[in-house]
Amino acid sequence: MDKRLKIFTESSLRHLEAIDGLPINVEDTSEEQATRNREKRKALVDGIQTLLNKNDKHVRRLEEYRKRLDGEIL
């Protein structure tokens, strides 16, 4: 499970980098379209960040379970 959570985190970060690097506006892009493009990019980034936050909670829970199994937490 730990490996799967780490893979998800790494994959999500790669997606964030890819989204950040996308050229969303060119010279002839209208201001309205540029605004929509920025909003769409922001929505994608927010969605991935939400998933990363949930993933972090699972990572912490897994660490807690491990510590309980090892007897570090009573």
Model pLDDT, residue 1: 94
Say what the pTM is: 0.85
d(CA 66, CA 38): 42
Q: What is the pLDDT at residue 10?
A: 98
Write out pLDDT tens, residues 2-47: 999 999 999 999 999 999 999 999 999 999 999 999 999 999 999 9
- Widest CA span of the chain, in angstroms? 63
What is the DSSP code (8-state) at residue 11? H
Q: Is it the case that residue 74 has pLDDT exceeding 90?
A: no
Q: Is 74 helix (H, G, I), strand (E, B) or coil?
A: coil
Contact (Cβ atoms closer than 8 angstroms) between residue 9 and residue 52: yes
| 71 compared with 9, residue with greater pLDDT | 9
CA distance 74 to 70: 10
